[in-house]
Amino acid sequence: MNNRLKILRAERSWTQANLAECLGVTRQTINAIEKGKYDPSLPLAFKIAALFGVPIEAIFSPDGE
């Protein structure tokens, strides 16, 4: 799954640790999501989208899109 998490995080000048704390996950989880090595659970994806104030589709898209 492709994602724009790193871009959205950088636009707000947040570190991976800052974002992880807001979401209640580890920095390593954020790193893995940003690198495409881990797809977040649906509840976590909704939480991420809510935090950034955008629809899930604005952050995550299937591979090849």
Q: For 16-48, write each residue's pLDDT tens digit.
A: 999 999 999 999 999 999 999 999 999 999 999
Asked if the model's pLDDT at residue 65 lies above 80, the reply is no
Nearest-CA neighbor of 30 among 44, 13, 11?
44
Asked if the model's pLDDT at residue 64 lies above 90, the reply is no
Structure tokens at 12: 């707000």
Question: 56 phi and psi, to 5 degrees?
Answer: -55, -40
Assigned architecture for domain 2-53: Orthogonal Bundle (1.10)
pTM score, whole prediction:
0.90
